[in-house]
Amino acid sequence: MSEIIGFKVGEEIIDTQTAQERGLSGEEIIFDNSIESLSIIRHSCAHLMAQAIKELYPDAKFFVGPVVDEGFYYDFKTTSKISEEDLPKIEKQMKEIAKKKLPINKSVMSRQEAMEKFKNDELKQAVMSRITSDSFGIYSQGDFEDLCRGPHLPNTRFLHSFKLTKLAGAYLGGDEKAEMLIRIYGIAFADKETLNAYLTQIEEAKKRDHRKIGTEMGLFTFDEEVGAGLPIWLPKGARLRRRIEELLTKALMIRDYEPVRGPEILKSSVWKISGHYDNYGENMYFTTIDDVEYGIKPMNCVGHVKVYQSSIRSYRELPLRFYEYGVVHRHEKSGVLHGLLRVREFTQDDAHIFCRPEQIKAEVSNIIAFTDSIMQAFGFHYEMELATRPEKSIGEDRVWEVATQALVDALQEHKISYKIDEGGGAFYGPKIDIKITDAIGRKWQCGTVQIDMNLPHRFMLEYVDENNQMQEPVMIHRAILGSFERFSAILTEHFGGEFPFFIAPTQIVLIPISENQHAYTEELRKQIIALGAYAEVMDKNETLNKKIRNAEKQRVPMILVIGEKEQQSGTLAIRDRREKSQYEMKESEFLNMVEKKMREVSF
């Protein structure tokens, strides 16, 4: 669906008829599913939802209703008790209002007028206190109005393809010390077909939720006695992680990366030198030892800087590539914690490259190629985004310009199209963000490549050049997976728990039919493990069918049922879950196949 619905004049959208009557012109607004159009549709739909809530719950007061990645939401409060069961009722009211084809109009009010108008509404007062402007935009439709800068659609008749998705609590302004408000999320599109496709994706996502699958497969758990956002890896989940680490480590060694390890707690003085104390301190954990303040590391970079400083460096050594599967801690608010996707402790596949300025392009180019090999191994489509200097940053303009251009050159060399995230860089340098698309079309932020000319300067890093002069190296921060926790969650949802054979937590389940086959089955298990795969023997006192069902619930790729016939003949009966077939194979042939499967994927 695509049509011109009006013209954008300033921050207001005027419908075509009104524009003609007033003799106005401006940017054409197309009603479709483009990013720009959806932003306007969803912003307008947020107000439609607020109007419906106000009609159903007259004492409702509203805070803010922005457009976000997952659609839109509104924060509000009311004395009525509202639950997710009330969402269909609110949605029905929204549809009734939309059918009235109410014009959406904008007016402007001075701060003094607005303060007087909303003097009895503490949430509106809170909104205005966060805005420095001397005037406010007011959008109205029917008898509903709210503070808003817009723009909005010209009429409610365009709002017909929406769905309220969930209800949650939210602190006023994100302040955990402030009062709790109700937050209702929704989604909206230009047409019902796109909405229905999205809702189908959401249902599929629920089935693939890594928290649900992780529990079913026994991958990880959380314990309130341990603390929120602190995952506990169970044996099967740890095997999944270990296998990814093994593949990654082999690839790093081939690419001349050296393993290092820094401490997990460092004096605050080094975090002050690095800039983390002032620019990232609110996300860190601190403690005091012998009257000296220490910070638990939120990143591995300072430790790697200290590795570099441990020796006098020559230009002949560069580039130096250090890697560490470093455990880091970050203070995430409890409201944003989400399974393995958002935690307070996680392990990064972190690396830092120290090089000469003229080596930046080649090193970034190698990282891009490395990234491509990993993404292909897991079947991910991916895109890259160049994030530029943020408002809160350190360093000289010239340094930022050189670093940013090096990233651009590397992307262009690989003929990679990229988006630009203005102001989205790290506080110490520009970066490339790696965003992957999973099996059901969702995009995930994973790895990053960051150029840093500031930390080397702050820590006075040097190398001796070919003229025996001291020069300052460039530091490249690089994580391709992002973190093992987040990447494991994404993999789980991407495959729906049906992991490829080469990384499955348990590749093979062996089921002996009777006690007579236990010794043979155990010997076969040891041979499989020697090949790098993991085999589990199911020998509980249960029926054969129940054992097979349990293995299938665990989504194990292969099940081998071993009876007297198989033991005597050396021919194995195989149930192949990935191939959805059953077949027989000589033991030697089977072991060769397992070895081949474990070697067929590399980074």
Catalytic residue (one of 45, 301, 355, 446): 301
Q: How far apart are CA 111 and CA 131, in angstroms?
A: 10
List strand residue ranges (DSSP E) for 498-603, in order. 508-512, 535-537, 558-562, 571-576, 581-586
- The reply to whether 479 and 539 lie within a common domain is no
Same domain, yes or no: 122 and 26: yes
> Virtual CA dihedral for 293, 298, 301, 303, nearest 10 degrees?
50
pLDDT of residue 31: 75
One domain for residues 182 and 330: no
Query: Average pLDDT in the 83-108 region?
Result: 94
In a domain, residue 500? The reply is no
What per-residue confidence (pLDDT) applies to 49? 97
In this structure, are 412 and 306 located in the same domain?
Answer: yes
Instruction: Please count the helices (runs of H) and the strands (runs of E) in the chain.
Output: 19, 31
Question: Does the annotation count 141 as an active-site position?
Answer: no
User: Among 54, 329, 431, 494, which one carries the catalytic annotation?
Assistant: 431
Per residue in 126-166, pLDDT (tens digit) is 999 888 888 898 999 999 999 998 889 889 999 999 999 99
**Are 8 and 133 in a shared domain?**
yes
- Given this model, what pLDDT does residue 19 score? 59
Q: For residue 503, is it within any domain?
A: no
Token pair of 314, please?
């020559």
Using alpha carbons only, give the angle 461, 463, 465 rounded to the nearest 5 degrees. 150
Catalytic residue selected from 330, 389, 478, 547: 330
- Higher-confidence residue of 177 and 302: namely 302
Q: Give the full edge-to-edge strand order of the sheet including 104-110.
A: 104-110, 135-141, 144-147
The encoded tokens of residue 429 equal 């340098």
Residue tagged 């599109």 (tokens):
189
> Is 352 assigned a catalytic role?
yes
In a domain, 445, yes or no: yes
CB atoms < 10 A from the CB of 298, how many?
Answer: 18
Percent of the chain topping pLDDT 90: 71
Nearest Cα residue to 181 out of 97, 93, 75, 259: 75
350 included as an active-site residue:
yes
Provide the 3-class DSSP secondary structure of residue 246.
helix
pLDDT classification of 403: cutoffs 50, 70, 90: confident
> Which residues form the domain of 35?
3-207
Rounded distance, CA 122 to CA 173, Å? 13
Alpha-carbon distance of 155 to 365, in angstroms, equals 50
Query: What 3-state DSSP class applies to 216?
Result: helix
Q: What is the mean pLDDT of the chain?
A: 91
Among residues 143, 176, 207, which one ends one of the domains? 207
Helix (H) or strand (E) holding 421: strand 418-421
Residue 190 sits in the same domain as residue 231: no
pLDDT tens column, 242-281: 999 999 999 999 999 999 999 999 999 999 999 899 989 9
What is the chain's percent helix, strand, coil content, to nearest 5?
40, 30, 30
Q: 4-18, 153-167, 330-344, 512-526: which range is least confident on average?
A: 4-18
Cα–Cα distance measured from residue 16 to residue 229, given in angstroms and rounded to the nearest whole number? 51
What number is the average pLDDT over the span 552-574? 92
Does residue 431 have an active-site annotation? yes
| Residues 327 and 341 placed together within one structural domain of the fold | yes
Task: Check whether residue 230 and residue 196 sit in a common domain.
Answer: no
C-alpha closest to that of 487 among 503, 506, 502: 503
Count of Cβ atoms closer than 10 Å to residue 415 Cβ: 6
Q: Is the pLDDT of residue 1 over 80?
A: no
| CA–CA gap between residue 26 and residue 7 (Å, rounded) | 5
On the question of pLDDT at 27 being above 70, the answer is no
CA dist list (Å): 323 to 251, 254, 478: 12, 13, 9
Please report, as a single letter, which amino acid is at residue 23: G
**CA neighbor of 44 nearest in space, from 172, 170, 204, 190:** 190
Q: Residue 163: which of 209, 197, 139, 205 has the closest Cα?
A: 197
For residue 323, count other CB atoms closer than 10 A to its CB.
25
Total residue length of the chain: 603
pLDDT digits (tens, 9 = 90+) for 460-472: 999 999 999 999 9
Residue among 576, 574, 577, 546 nearest 561 (CA)? 574
Residue 89's domain is classified under what CATH number?
A: 3.30.980.10
Residue 506, Cβ neighbours under 10 Å: how many? 22
Whole-prediction pTM? 0.81
Among 154, 188, 207, the domain boundary falls at: 207
Same domain? For 160 and 259 the reply is no
What is the tally of structural domains in the chain?
A: 3
Paired residues of 164 in beta bridges: 186
Same domain, yes or no: 363 and 444: yes
Is the pLDDT at 9 greater than 70? The verdict is: no
518 is catalytic: no
State yes or no: is 348 an active-site residue: yes
Q: Which of 43, 77, 243, 477 is catalytic?
A: 477
pLDDT for 24 beyond 60: no
| Active-site residue, from 77, 239, 243, 352 | 352
Say which CATH number the domain at 280 has: 3.30.930.10
Same domain, 393 and 281: yes
Question: What pLDDT does 188 receive?
Answer: 96
pLDDT digits (tens, 9 = 90+) for 195-238: 999 999 889 999 999 999 999 999 999 999 999 999 999 999 99
